Structure 1
Amino acid sequence: MDVPIGNATDIRARLIDAGGLSLDRMPMLNVVFDRLTSGCSDNLKPLVASPVYFGFNGFSSGRFGEMLDAYENNAVAGIFHAPEWDSHILVGLNRDFLFTLVEALFGADGGEPPVEDERPFSAIELRLAHTILEQVGKALESSFALVSMTAFRLERTETRMEFAVIGGRNNKAVEAKFSVQALNRGGEMFLILPQSVINPMRPALSKVLTGDSAARDPTWTQQITAEVRKAEVTLRAVLEERTLTLGEIAGLKVGQVIGLDATPATRVKLEGNDRPLFWCHMGQAQGSYVLRVDEAIAQDKEGAHDDAVG
């Protein structure tokens, strides 16, 4: 039976599309791109006096050429080489993004109206775009390290999208979009990865990691740890605890002696902020009382004991 040409074309298109990526089956992509937003914000802080906020707006799959056509004459594209992947990726900054960051880099306060000129980008704007893209490359390196280690080397920038070639126009790719806000205005950054780059990372990108260990930033973790260790904790050594009735307490007089059952061999309970921590032995050194830590107090056992007593 003969198949009409039109139907054959549709079938071929469906077969090609069927080879696309199931992005919902790769949850780690969200983690990587969320981390990229934090990395871009942190890397631009030394360059820009005003706060710059990045946000991840989602990703989609499609054809490389169609993705680039949407930014023709409206963006600067950076071509990065990822040597460990033996491939290239593309990062683009649209016109609003670049004009906003240029004003922020030169110390503007946002009082002037945003630039709405369709003119070609100036040499200074292109040089600053190159600097911004270098910082984005560093953030890419850190964020993708969660699933695959590689460097990202900025090879060149392009303003003509037909020259921003990292693959065939009909090749499948993944596009992630990011918003940027500064000086009460904003713009868009986009990232395009060929499907051939994503395919080898599918097992790592498909994992669902428990907790937030995957997205943990070592520098931030060290800073938090250092600040926590500075917190002051009051320690109290308890030699013995006695239970008295309210009447006995009311009858206490100055000079009255309260007998204790404790001896020099009795262990002392060391508490921190009313929580039992260690059993200790008391002694003397250089005319002062000292404590020697013997063992830690199991919190669950101590808590169960306290509940039973209460």
Structure 2
Amino acid sequence: MTEEAPDDFEEFVEFKLPDPPVIGGAEGGTFDQASIDALFGGGGGAEPQRVGLRAVLESEIINHERLPMLEVVCERMVRALSTSMRTLTSDSIDISLDDVTTARFGDFMDRVTLPAMIAVIRVEQWENYGIITVDSGLIYAIVDALLGGKRGTQIMIDGRDFTTIETALVARVLRLAIFEFSTALAPIAPVTIKLERIETNPRFAAIARPSNIGAICTFRVDIDGRGGRFSMMFPQATIEPVRDKLAQRFMGDTAGRESIWPDHMRQQMLATQVELSVLLGEIALPLEHVQALEIGQNLSFHTEPSQRMTMQCGGLTMAQVRAGQRRGNLAVSLATPISRGKQP
């Protein structure tokens, strides 16, 4: 005989939860990759194989091409910008070059830590754009230094939007950095770089496709114990006009070209003496007649004095001339301009 439940008894349904995955094997050993994938939901089936154009466009491998001359330009910019910043802020400023590397534009923009300022610059001679990103730590350090803040203190970043005054002060420093960069680049390629605008949203500063590759120069700025980093990013399409020059290993003060030796070679070549010959005439003779030639024998070329003759140098036809006399000597006058081509 069973006891019935009362009418007000709440009916419960029993659910059975699945057993949690065993991590580290049955014996509770060390973690392996399969256990980590089971814990974080990773792993699964293998990714579909990428072939053809899809494999090229979505490839994560970047062929890094070193640009030694770009590193030289950045080093020159660091020295000049340090002096200019000390004059502007009257503070002790240390600027160093962190790295010169290559990355995709999309990956570079994803690594920008917000809030930040993203400046769009335009290189007029190359008719293309570049990007300068300034992190929030450097922004507040610049504002604090230009407005006379207390030295040696780091302002706490509250994540608010940047004011008009802060944007104007950072733009002043950016124009100074752009000027020093263009000055350092002048021995390789004289360019004019202008600051187009300053954005705070990376979507509004998209100057290239996410898959495009570009050169990135990262700098570290320390202003009395406070500061941060700023990076300059130039897509490959922007630096393509001078990519060959930036890939050089050595460069003099005049971009690897000295004017002394070309001028010296030109002067020496102009002073070199050359021997010219004038072909008075030609006749065709059989070999047996040539073998029968004797001393004092006359040959008639059937050439008239007014007829043009060929002047040669080293077997190369230079011009057509006419024969004559000058001061008792046999002379020729040019009938056609000097030419390296074959005269008719």
* TM-score, normalised via structure 1 length: 0.61
Aligned equivalent of 2:182, options 141, 165, 175:
141
1:86 aligns with 2:127: yes
Aligned equivalent of 1:166, options 200, 203, 207:
207
Deviation string for 1:80-139 (max 9, x for gaps)?
110111101111111001111111112224244432322211221111111111111101
- Runs (4 or more) in structure 1 with deviation over 6 Å come to none
Report how many residues are paired.
211
1:124 aligns with 2:165: yes
**1 or 2 for the larger relative contact order (CA 8 Å, sep ≥6)?**
1
Supply the AA of the counterpart residue of 1:120. Answer: D
Contact (CA 8 Å) 2:219, 2:230: kept in 1 or not? yes
Cα distance change on mapping 1:23 and 1:33 into 2, 3 Å: farther
1:105 corresponds in structure 2 to 146
Unaligned runs of 5+ residues in structure 1 are: 216-310
Identity %: 24
Question: Alignment partner of 2:209: what SS?
Answer: coil
Contact (CA 8 Å) 2:82, 2:95: kept in 1 or not? yes
Contact (CA 8 Å) 1:104, 1:183: kept in 2 or not? no
Question: 1:171 Cα deviation (Å)?
Answer: 1.5
1:73 aligns with 2:117: no
1:54 aligns with 2:98: no
Question: 1:209 Cα deviation (Å)?
Answer: 2.0
2:79 corresponds in structure 1 to 38
Question: 1:81 and 1:174 mapped to 2: Cα distance?
Answer: 15
Question: 1:13 and 1:55 mapped to 2: Cα distance?
Answer: 38
Contact (CA 8 Å) 1:36, 1:140: kept in 2 or not? yes
Q: How does 1:273-284 map to 2 (within 5 A)?
A: none
Aligned equivalent of 2:197, options 141, 149, 156:
156
Cα distance change on mapping 1:111 and 1:196 into 2, 3 Å: closer
Cα distance change on mapping 1:205 and 1:19 into 2, 3 Å: farther
Question: 2:215 and 2:58 mapped to 1: Cα distance?
Answer: 15
Contact (CA 8 Å) 1:73, 1:161: kept in 2 or not? no
Contact (CA 8 Å) 1:59, 1:175: kept in 2 or not? yes
Question: 2:234 and 2:126 mapped to 1: Cα distance?
Answer: 11
Question: 1:32 and 1:117 mapped to 2: Cα distance?
Answer: 36
* TM-score, normalised via structure 2 length: 0.56
Supply the AA of the counterpart residue of 1:6. Answer: P
Aligned equivalent of 2:68, options 18, 27, 38:
27
Question: 1:145 and 1:81 mapped to 2: Cα distance?
Answer: 16
Contact (CA 8 Å) 2:153, 2:225: kept in 1 or not? no
Cα distance change on mapping 1:11 and 1:139 into 2, 3 Å: same
Deviation string for 1:172-193 (max 9, x for gaps)?
1121111000121220000110
Supply the AA of the counterpart residue of 1:50. Answer: D
Unaligned runs of 5+ residues in structure 2 are: 1-45, 256-344
Cα distance change on mapping 1:214 and 1:110 into 2, 3 Å: farther
**Aligned residues: CA RMSD:** 2.7
2:50 corresponds in structure 1 to 8
Cα distance change on mapping 1:10 and 1:35 into 2, 3 Å: farther
